[in-house]
Chain A
Amino acid sequence: MTEINETRLPGVGTLHAFGCHSGDRIGVISHHAGRREVVIYDPDDPDRVSETATLTPDEARVLADLLGGTSVTERLDDLRQEIHGLAIDWLPISRHSPYAGRTIGDTALRTRTGVSIVALVRGGKPLPAPGPAQALLVDDTAVVVGTADGINAAALLLAGGP
């Protein structure tokens, strides 16, 4: 994890700065008044800011989005996709799915992709450990566990792909 230096600037706000792997140093000044300044330090004089861009709070949010959201949401993504080398995903049963209205057994998902349906979510309520006779309805969400490739194949299958 990158080490971020936080400095209070009395009367101005707070400065957060860190050194990048490339050797560049970058910082963000959060002014009390709400605006943000993104600053880049001079490679010749690491105490000095050489470039400054001033952003309104809205613009700062846009920039944060463009840079890939916050590390908090990134970590949530990690949690969802990698547990003990397995992947978990939520696959919707759409109106166009060939298996809407048919049973889990009909899909032969485990045999064809190695992926198991461990639960269904129907109308916001979970149906854990569904048997092969359980019907899949439109707007159900199937919670599936398997390898990443298997889940891709299962998603195509349930959506009605080849």
Chain B
Amino acid sequence: MILAVGPGTATLLVELGAVLVALALLGRLAARFGISSIPLYLLAGLAVGEGGIVELVTAREFIESGAQIGVILLLLLLGLEYTGTELTTALRGHAPAGAVDLALNFTPGLMLGVILGWDMRAALLLGGITYISSSGIIAKVLSDLGNTGNRETPVVLAILVTEDLVMALYLPLMAGLLIGGSAVGISLEIAVAIAVVVTALGIAIKFGHRISAVVFDRSDENLLLSLLGVALLVAGIAEHLQASAAVGAFLVGIALNGPAEHGARQVLGPLRDLFAALFFAFFGLQINPADLPPALAIALGLAVVTAATKLATGWWSARRAGIDPPGRLRAGTTLIARGEFSIVIAGIAVAEGIESDLGPLAAAYVLILAIGGPLLVRVADPIAHRLSRRSRATAAV
């Protein structure tokens, strides 16, 4: 029997334990101040990476693998939130809002990349980073402020749904572009990848209940192993087909429904929290803190511009749905938060090493808007309240 723990293992355990304890403390701090824990996890990663306060030696490899699983679980649980019919109804009713969202919020990132003279692929990734709002942070803000039942909330949620679907096409597209090669080769790769995604989405919507029945098991242990196994398998196959592992996991999430979906949320939720925390920390870990201050000014400018464009998106979409100005203001500010998915996209750029300035810029950008977005919602609430009082007073006169 081998019970001896080698010095390498001991260091790994100590480093990993220290990282998790640090993340736990930061999570408590975030909860105390009512902010998202994502930016704090990023900061923790910055502190233990290259050029940080202490540099992790042994645990880095484990955290890297954990981060990959973290992305898969983030997208899997996002897919679980939606049923196929919800996706199609949201698309049918709110397609114009989704189009305005894409046009207004993808463009600033893309333009900045072009202005900075970046590689076109890096500019397209920056467009994705500014486009996609954080459904995680937004869901929390909605429930914390008791805004879930508000009449503008369906508009906000529909925009998030269209963003997630756009991402399911965008990620394979970027994966194709990043491999490079001849124009014909790239187009073919992308066409195949997108055809795979669309087919898989169709299968997920049509046969979801059958797939769920096969995967489901009464025992939590068996359910956990089946779900995680299937998700990783599909994610791996999707990655092989250049359709991106994250998108594969998202499609598995959409396919699951009924008892399997309910069980998946229970058994995978805690696992997601662990690995997603490692994912955010790992992203921070790859960035040298010394690169952050120079990126800060540009990130701030980009944050201000894209906060305004999200506000405009929410305002316009809510007005289209017949919501009064206070609700339009709430919809706009709620959408401002960027978070996990901007980091997922930035992570691709860092992993591919296509533009060294993109990582620090994305980190600073997400730090600003993951904290600033929810704050703006809180600031907007009393303003909206006064707005509604005034409009009521004028109506009474």
- List A residues at the B interface (Cβ < 8 Å): 7-12, 15, 17, 27, 29, 32-33, 37, 39, 41-42, 44-49, 51-52
Contacts and interface: CB of A to CB of B under 8 A. Distances in A.
Interface of B: 81-82, 86-87, 89-90, 135, 139, 146-154, 157-158, 160-161, 262, 265, 323-324, 326-327, 330, 384-385, 388-389, 392
Nearest to B142: A12
A140 to B, nearest CB: 47
A44 B324 CA distance: 11
B150 A47 contact: yes
A39 B90 CA distance: 23
A45 B388 contact: yes
The 8 closest A-B pairs by CB, nearest first: A45-B388, A47-B327, A11-B81, A39-B149, A47-B151, A10-B86, A49-B149, A52-B146
Given A10-B87, A47-B326, A42 B388 contact: yes
A9 B157 contact: yes
Nearest to A43: B392
Nearest to B157: A10
Contacts of A8: 86, 89-90, 154
Contact of B81 (A10, A17, A37): A10
B158 A45 contact: no
A45 B147 CA distance: 13
A32 B150 CA distance: 18
Nearest to B392: A44
A44 B86 contact: no
A11 B165 CA distance: 13
Contacts of B149: 15, 17, 27, 29, 37, 39, 41, 49, 52
Interface residues of chain A: helix, strand, loop or mixed (majority): strand
Nearest to B327: A47
6 contacts: A7-B154, A11-B139, A12-B157, A32-B262, A44-B392, A45-B388
Nearest to A49: B149
A29 B150 CA distance: 11
Contact of A47 (B158, B265, B324, B389): B324
Nearest to A31: B148
A48 B324 CA distance: 10
A151 B150 CA distance: 50
A49 B146 contact: yes
Nearest to B393: A44
A52 B145 CA distance: 10
B135 A48 contact: no
Contacts of A15: 148-149, 154
A44 B323 CA distance: 14
Contacts of B326: 45, 47-48
B327 A11 contact: no
A87 B139 CA distance: 53
Contacts of A46: 151, 324
Contacts of B323: 47
Contacts of A10: 81-82, 86-87, 90, 157-158, 160-161
Given A44-B388, A45-B327, A9 B147 contact: no
Contacts of A47: 150-152, 323-324, 326-327
Nearest to B154: A7
A45 B385 contact: yes
A12 B147 CA distance: 12
Given A8-B154, A10-B157, A15-B149, A48 B87 contact: no
A9 B154 contact: yes
Contacts of B87: 10
A11 B160 contact: yes
A13 B163 CA distance: 19
Contacts of B330: 48
Contacts of B146: 39, 49, 51-52
A11 B152 CA distance: 15
Contacts of A41: 149
A32 to B, nearest CB: 8
Contacts of B147: 48-49
Nearest to B389: A44
Among B135, B139, B149, B324, chain A packs the most CB atoms within 10 A around the CB of B149
Among A11, A32, A44, A46, chain B packs the most CB atoms within 10 A around the CB of A11
Contacts of A32: 81, 262
B337 to A, nearest CB: 15
A8 to B, nearest CB: 6
